[in-house]
Amino acid sequence: LIAGPSSMVMFGVTGDLARKKLLPAIYDLTHRGLLPPSFGLVGFGRRDWTDEDFQEYVRTSVSEHARTPFTDSVFEQLRGGLRFVTGEFDDKAAFDRLTEVVSELDATRGTGGNHAFYLSIPPSAFPQVCSQLADSGLNTPRDGSWRRVVIEKPFGHDLESARELNDVVEKVFRPEDVFRIDHYLGKETVQNILALRFANQMFEPVWNATYVDHVQITMAEDIGIGSRAGYYDGIGTARDVIQNHLLQLLALTAMEEPVSFRASDLRAEKEKVLSAVELPEDLAAHTARGQYVGGWQGGEEVASYLEEDGIPADSTTETFAAIRLDIATRRWAGVPFYLRAGKRLGRRVTEIAVILKRAPFLPFRSTDTADLGQNAIVIRVQPDEGVTMRFGSKVPGTQMEVRDVTMDFAYGMNFTEESPEAYERLILDMLLGDPPLFPRQKEVELSWKILDPITEYWAENMKPAPYRPGSWGPDTAHEMLARDGRTWRRP
């Protein structure tokens, strides 16, 4: 499917996300022939740039970060539709100029009155930008065309602010025209969770409390917070990635089979399972918070969180978070879901590990099964995309000795097709008006309902515990699982 005539107006086009992900994704879509020649892209920002300056900026961004090779002819196609509007968000005249540029694109480029507004800006700027869009009428489609708005997680910083933010946006755009980006849903391996579960007969029969002991969802990064102090320190790990990415992974792993893959059916199932999530009563025992200290990682000396540029020396923001959640349904009663995420951990890896119960009886001597662990189905979200199964197998030899082995499916070995980058997929789906991969407001609110009591408890009662860079988080995270008689996997 190829996007139709349209343009995208990008607010925050000089930001990191736009430069490293959004602009390259647009170039890659052009390269793959998925954007039509009648596509326009308008940057809006404070810089005093001409269209030519902006075109140079886009050229540099895509030649550095696009996945497909830089080709002059592809760039030329894109370049013809690149425009820049200089202005502040409170400058009415700038929005008048934006309206003129958008109409000029309709007239010269044939963008057909279809315009998407990508708010790659801090949520604090949403009210101003949204009301300017409304005042200039840019939110109102004419003659069968469409207007959409794209917003990025985190949507607010708690339930209340998420609602306020949503009111601001939905006052100006219809709910079906609001596209909320959680880029994890654009990842091929995340979409594969549903294929794995519902296109096969072998997984679903064991995917429940009768066979599953517990589930571990890990999102580990080896990087620190980089140059994002301003954003990160007010947020912390739980709000940055657990509220959105990890709870979406939980929802896809735990939800019931949707009636269809239409957005409304899919979202209904995710919402059902999110509303069945229960917090542990004892948050001190079943959650953990950490902050990285300085040290060595991968042969390099790295700063502590508190020494990072722009972080106050007494910051109590967490860079690691772990929580136990339960799901009060017949399928999952008694099966804990352990979620953990953090910066400066052992390595970059995101995975969902479904750990099965032990076989009820083993007709072997205990010495023959000393190396036997628990069966596991591990969905490797990244970076070695694939699925691993762990099970016991007889060790070759004259004894009946059983030991754990793994069986791997790797994308790279099985498919020649390349996975689109998450943002490519999501931008294309948004332009096509195809909503299944975008969470709706209800999911966002349910996720904050889960997280709010935890962050409130932490603010009052739990300071982050220190952990070494390159480790797997603070001791408290290990103690948290040990209390339940379990250990974290070493991915």
- Residue written as tokens 């515990």? 465
The Cβ of residue 300 has, within 10 Å, a number of other Cβ atoms equal to 9
- Helices and strands (DSSP H and E) totals, the chain: 17, 18
Radius of gyration of the chain (CA): 24
CB atoms inside a 10 Å sphere around CB 336: 19
The whole-angstrom separation of Cα 118 and Cα 472 is 36
Q: Which of 425, 176, 464 lies closest to 314, judged by CA?
A: 464
* Helix pair angle (72-79, 51-65), 10° resolution: 140
Is the dihedral angle over the CA atoms 135, 138, 139, 144 positive or is it negative? positive
Which one among 178, 241, 247, 477 touches ligand BG6, defined by CB under 6 A?
Answer: 241
Q: Which residues are CB-contacts of 52 (< 8 A; sequence separation ≥ 6)?
A: none
Alpha-carbon distance 314 to 91, whole Å?
Answer: 38
Q: Which is nearer to ligand BG6, 16 or 96 (CB)?
A: 16
Q: Three-class SS of residue 119?
A: strand
Tokens 């947020």 -> residue: 235
- Of 238 and 327, CB closest to ligand BG6: 238
Q: Which residue has the tokens 């959680």?
A: 182
Residue 351's SS3 state is strand
CB of 153 to ligand BG6, least distance (A): 6
Regarding 177 and contact with ligand BG6 (CB under 6 A), the answer is: no
For residue 418, what are its two tokens?
């390349």
Token pair belonging to 240: 């940055």
Does 385 contact ligand BG6 by CB under 6 A?
A: no
Is 115 noted as a catalytic residue in this protein? no
Residue with tokens 């925050």, as numbered in its chain: 12
Single out the catalytic residue among 31, 245, 286, 478. 245
* Assigned token pair, 460: 């009052």
Q: Which is nearer to ligand BG6, 102 or 219 (CB)?
A: 219
Residues 298 to 357: which contact ligand BG6 by CB under 6 A?
350
Comparing CB distances to ligand BG6, the nearer of 350 and 476 is 350
Pair of tokens at residue 465:
């515990």
Determine the 3-state secondary structure of 69 from DSSP.
coil
Residue 221 as a binder of ligand BG6 (CB under 6 A): the answer is yes
Retrieve residue 101's tokens.
Answer: 């540029």
Residue nearest to ligand BG6 (CB): 240
Close Cβ partners of 409 (under 8 Å, ≥ 6 residues apart)? 386, 387, 388
Contact 89, 44 (CB under 8 A): no
Q: Which residues bind ligand BG6 (CB under 6 A)?
A: 221, 240-241, 350
Q: Which residues are catalytic?
A: 245
